[in-house]
Every structure is written in C-alpha cells, then in structure tokens.
C-alpha cells in the first residue's frame, strides 16, 4: 500500500505539472505575411493567407496531449482499484452532465453533421505538426474538419476535440457559422464503426487566445463530451491571426446505429 501511495502521489504531481504547462494551449491561426486589413461589411470573411491552427510555442500542445493520456490512464486505475487519483476539479466536471448518457468504445470519427447551421462535413485525423503545433486540415481541405487524434474519440469519456477553419481567401470554411449554435442544438458525429454519437450543445464561448481556460476545454473527463474549435474575434494578423477562439461545448446524449 505504501508503494501504491507513492505511485499515486507521483502521478498526481505529474498531472498538476502537465496541467500547468498546458495553460497556454489555444487554437491559433498563423499568417507570417499578414498585413493590415481594410474594413469590410459585417458577415463577410476575413482574408488570410496560409492558415494553421496550433500553439506557439509547441510545448503547451504537447502538455495537453500528455494531460489527456494521464487522465485516461488514471481513470482506468480508479475503476480497477477504487482509489481516487484525479483532482476533484478534473473528475467532478465543470457542468452538470445529462441525467443519463451512454459511453462508447473507441472509434474514429468520419463525418460531422449539424442541422441547425446546415453543416455536413468529412472528418479526418489531425495530430501534432512537426513544429509542435496542433495540425489542422490543409487549406485545400478547408471544408473538412480535423479530429485531434491525441485525445478521446467522440463518445469516449473526456472531451473529443474537432477543429476547423473559419474562412479562407476564397470565402467561408467549414466552421464559419459555428458561433451561431445555441444551447440545445444537436451535433451528430458518425464514426468508423458506423455508430452515430449525438451531442447536445451546452454553450458556445469565445475566449482570448491568451486566456483560454484549459481545464474547462481539455480537462473535463467526467463524461463523454465534444469540443468544436475555430477562430473568431478580430483579425490581428501575424502569428495570432484572429484574436479569439470560438469553442462549442457539447455533451453526449445518445447514440444510434448509422
């Protein structure tokens, strides 16, 4: 038991360290050739050149990935041993979950559908880019979404993260209307096992990229959930791109066969 106690203490310390490192993680649009933009009519997309989501520096992104792996592993240990390993602020969750919800096995997402904004898009895997940022769909695939493959798959315990572009130089991209979602709207994610995970929107938030609440976005492993992330706010150019992140928080409410 003493050895187990030491193991738990080390794991808890490591979890807190990683959570601290993850504090700067955000989804960012970079544009090394950015120039001041002219004023434009409301509702039209901002021009941009090469777009990528990520973090600068890359360490926070790696910290988030490590945090997710640690939490999943510690949840497994809790189930087997009955020992409480995770800090209350992570295991308790930040929003009240639905009274009942399914939990699905691991299966990668293949497509995303949101009837409210008439969105139907393929989903493919994205990971960590060579420079340490979160990779996203190439500009030629701006009408597709990218599932962050270092985290849970949609329907597993924890936040499945799907990112997408808000616009391109030629017009709106896959997540251009994401900010229009409201509490209660449904999001359907089709998975490789042909099941459909149905999520219900809890809220849509906008955060300054320098003040992203990492625990809230990445650290809630109390239930299966979904995070849709894109850029928003004002276009500021440079390595920041847009000033904010738009984050849709959603909880799994049911699942069905596709």
Q: What is the pLDDT of residues 160-176, one digit of tens each?
A: 999 999 998 889 999 99
Most confident of 3-17, 31-45, 87-101: 87-101
Report the domain count for the chain.
Answer: 1
How confident is the model at residue 238, as a pLDDT?
A: 77
In a domain, 44, yes or no: no
In a domain, 38, yes or no: no
Q: Hey, how many other C-beta atoms are within 10 angstroms of the C-beta on 32? A: 9
Q: What is the pLDDT of residues 121-152, one digit of tens each?
A: 999 999 987 766 567 888 899 999 999 999 99
In a domain, 19, yes or no: yes
Whether pLDDT at 178 is above 50: yes
Look up the domain containing 163 and give its range.
2-31+49-257
In a domain, 40, yes or no: no
Q: For the whole model, what pTM was predicted?
A: 0.68
In a domain, 39, yes or no: no
Average pLDDT value over all residues in the chain: 75
Helix residue ranges per DSSP H, 82-200: 88-91
CATH number of the CATH domain containing 213: 2.40.260.10
In a domain, 36, yes or no: no
pLDDT classification of 199: cutoffs 50, 70, 90: very high
Q: Is the separation of the CB atoms in 113 and 120 below 8 Å?
A: yes
In a domain, 22, yes or no: yes
Q: How far is CA 199 from CA 25, 26, 92, in A?
A: 24, 23, 20
pLDDT classification of 82: cutoffs 50, 70, 90: low
Three-class DSSP category at 157: coil
Whether pLDDT at 101 is above 60: yes
How confident is the model at residue 159, as a pLDDT?
A: 95
In a domain, 42, yes or no: no
């Amino acid at each position: 038991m003493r050895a187990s106690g030491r193991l738990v203490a080390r794991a808890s310390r490591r979890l807190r360290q990683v959570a601290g490192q993850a504090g700067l993680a955000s989804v960012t649009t970079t544009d090394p050739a950015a120039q001041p933009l002219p004023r434009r009519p409301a509702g039209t997309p901002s021009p941009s050149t090469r777009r990528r989501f990520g973090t600068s520096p890359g360490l926070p992104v790696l910290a988030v990935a490590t945090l997710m792996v640690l939490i999943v592993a510690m949840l497994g240990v809790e189930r087997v041993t009955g020992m409480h390993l995770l800090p209350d602020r992570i295991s308790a969750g930040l929003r009240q979950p639905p009274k009942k919800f399914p939990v699905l096995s691991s299966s990668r997402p293949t497509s995303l559908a949101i009837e409210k904004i008439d969105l139907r898009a393929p989903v493919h895997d994205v990971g960590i880019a060579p420079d340490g940022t979160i990779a996203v769909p190439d500009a030629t695939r701006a009408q597709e979404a990218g599932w962050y493959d270092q985290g849970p798959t949609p329907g597993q315990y924890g936040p499945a993260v799907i990112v997408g572009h808000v616009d391109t130089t030629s017009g709106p991209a896959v997540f251009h209307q994401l900010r229009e979602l409201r509490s209660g709207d449904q999001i359907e994610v089709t998975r490789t096992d042909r099941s459909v995970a149905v999520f219900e929107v809890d809220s849509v938030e906008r955060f300054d990229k320098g003040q992203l609440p990492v625990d809230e976005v990445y650290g809630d492993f109390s239930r299966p959930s979904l995070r849709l992330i894109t850029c928003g706010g004002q276009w500021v150019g440079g390595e920041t791109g847009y000033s904010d992140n738009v984050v849709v928080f959603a909880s799994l409410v049911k699942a069905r066969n596709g």
